[in-house]
């Protein structure tokens, strides 16, 4: 195997694999390196499904990215000739004063996105699987749904290799040296040289870029699949869902192809060191307990036997916005990090953005909110857990 490339992508998970695909498709000599063999269960991209919503509650600056990402997912489906997106629609439910609901509605209005308002009784009639209190309100986004995330990554991997990208799996990067003329990437077995590097190593990004003292916090999340024989909980009779409660937020998916109803809690987490993260679902009583309690309250017919539980990592920034930028001192070093639990849906467009930054030094998309020098990152840099 040769040891000099135009671009090395460090971390071939969701964003990295997409970036490698776009670079290789444009004829760029690209090497992807990953500590494991993607798709895998050691990072942030496993668990069968991910939500894609267009009316985002994380800020209206995400809406155009979400819409473009959806377009690119459809294009990827056509190129790989496999189903990657299931159009379940998404029902968001909460009390009338929920900030998450308010921001979702605001984004939908600003961009004229389809979002149907439903009172609790209307929700119960349309989807009898939900048990929703009368003082709750819902908003249904019909154009959103579920991405088959592991199959998405495999599609990018298959096509990237088809376009002559090189992949080095099960290879840990020990160090990266930056200079004005390029980069040197060292692993236990080899030393690689490149003109440019894209670092998108998920929870390990803070360690790889320790000199920047980025305030990146890897945290452990859990999710589970629960058995149900009730047809009301099977796709297409149940949409994806997101419940914004007083002090809790949950999301989930219908029973797709017999997998069970999948549910996760979005606001419960424990800080972890990614090198010691384990598949330890049910280490804590709340791992299953929180999920089951939610189901018993709002989807009672889905609170059956736990079929499977898993742990994963997300990497948070202080303001929950992404980092998509170049190194402050070395413009040929691109950085993508801190996706804060809502990044997968965008990885199609993020791969395109990073490929544009590599090839052109700029991108057609507005990524100003994701600057590495924004105040929320700089003011917290000295308090980074890394």
pLDDT for the residue 378: 87
The answer to whether 242 and 93 are in contact (CB under 8 A) is yes
Closest by CA to 222, choosing from 202, 251, 246, is 251
Strands 249-253 and 240-244: antiparallel
pLDDT for the residue 154: 98
Pick the CATH number of 89-147+219-316 from 3.30.9.10, 3.40.1360.10, 3.90.1720.10, 3.40.50.720: 3.30.9.10
**Phi, psi of 33, rounded to the nearest 5 degrees:** -120, 130
Sheet holding 85-86, edge to edge: 50-52, 145-147, 85-86
Closest by CA to 194, choosing from 335, 360, 30, is 30
The answer to whether 101 and 244 are in contact (CB under 8 A) is yes
Query: pLDDT tens for residues 229-253?
Result: 999 999 999 999 999 998 899 999 9
pLDDT tens string for the chain (386 positions)?
Answer: 689 999 999 999 999 999 999 999 999 999 999 999 999 998 899 999 999 999 999 998 999 999 999 999 999 999 999 999 999 999 999 988 889 899 999 999 999 999 999 999 999 999 999 999 999 999 999 999 999 999 999 999 999 999 999 999 999 999 999 999 999 999 999 999 999 999 999 999 999 999 999 999 999 999 999 999 999 999 999 999 999 998 899 999 999 999 999 999 999 889 999 999 988 999 999 999 999 999 999 999 999 999 999 999 999 999 999 999 999 999 999 999 999 999 999 999 999 999 999 999 999 999 999 999 999 998 776 554 44
Distance of CA 317 to the CA centre of its chain: 14
Strand ranges (E), the chain:
4-10, 30-33, 50-52, 85-86, 90-95, 116-119, 136-141, 145-147, 166-168, 173-179, 182-187, 191-199, 217-226, 240-244, 249-253, 261-265, 270-271, 306-316, 323-326, 333-337
- Integer angstrom CA distances of residue 187 from 30, 178, 260: 17, 15, 40
Return the CATH number of the domain spanning residue range 4-45+150-216+319-383. 3.50.50.60
| Residues paired with 136 in a beta bridge | 95
pLDDT for the residue 382: 53
pLDDT for the residue 278: 87
Domain ranges of the chain: 4-45+150-216+319-383, 89-147+219-316
pLDDT for the residue 381: 64
The model carries a pTM of 0.96
Query: pLDDT tens for residues 160-184?
Result: 999 999 999 999 999 999 999 999 9
């Amino acid at each position: 195997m040769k040891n000099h490339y135009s671009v090395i992508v460090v971390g071939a998970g969701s964003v990295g694999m997409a970036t490698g695909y776009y670079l290789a498709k444009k004829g760029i000599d690209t090497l992807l390196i990953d500590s494991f063999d993607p798709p895998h269960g050691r990072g942030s991209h496993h668990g069968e499904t991910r939500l894609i919503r267009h009316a985002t509650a994380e800020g209206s600056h995400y809406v155009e990215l979400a819409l473009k990402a959806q377009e690119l997912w459809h294009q990827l489906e056509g190129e790989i000739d496999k189903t990657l997106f299931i159009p379940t629609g998404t029902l968001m439910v909460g009390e009338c004063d929920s900030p998450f609901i308010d921001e979702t509605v605001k984004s939908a209005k600003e961009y004229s996105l389809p979002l149907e308002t439903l009172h609790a009784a209307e929700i119960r009639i349309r989807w009898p699987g939900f048990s929703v209190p009368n003082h709750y309100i819902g908003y249904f986004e019909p154009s959103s749904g579920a991405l088959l995330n592991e199959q998405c990554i495999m599609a990018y991997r298959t096509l990237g290799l088809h376009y002559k990208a090189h992949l080095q799996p099960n290879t840990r990067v020990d160090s990266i040296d930056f200079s004005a003329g390029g980069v040197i990437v060292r692993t236990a077995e080899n030393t690689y040289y490149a003109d440019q590097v894209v670092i998108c190593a998920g929870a390990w990004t803070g360690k790889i870029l320790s000199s920047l003292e980025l305030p990146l916090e890897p945290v452990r999340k859990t999710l589970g699949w629960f058995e149900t024989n009730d047809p009301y909980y099977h796709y297409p009779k149940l949409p994806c869902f997101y419940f914004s409660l007083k002090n809790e937020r949950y999301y989930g998916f219908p029973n797709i192809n017999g997998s069970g109803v999948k549910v996760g809690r979005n606001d419960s987490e424990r800080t972890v060191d990614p090198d010691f993260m384990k598949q330890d679902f049910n280490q804590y009583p709340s791992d299953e307990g929180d999920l089951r309690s939610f189901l018993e309250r709002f989807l009672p017919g889905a609170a059956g036997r736990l079929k499977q539980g898993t742990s994963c990592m997300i990497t948070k920034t202080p303001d929950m916005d992404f980092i998509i930028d170049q190194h402050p001192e070395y413009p040929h070093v691109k950085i993508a990090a801190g996706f804060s639990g809502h990044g997968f849906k965008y990885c199609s467009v993020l791969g395109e953005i990073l490929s544009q930054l590599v090839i052109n030094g700029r991108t057609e998309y507005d990524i100003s909110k994701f600057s590495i020098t924004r105040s929320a990152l700089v003011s917290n840099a000295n308090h980074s857990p890394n």
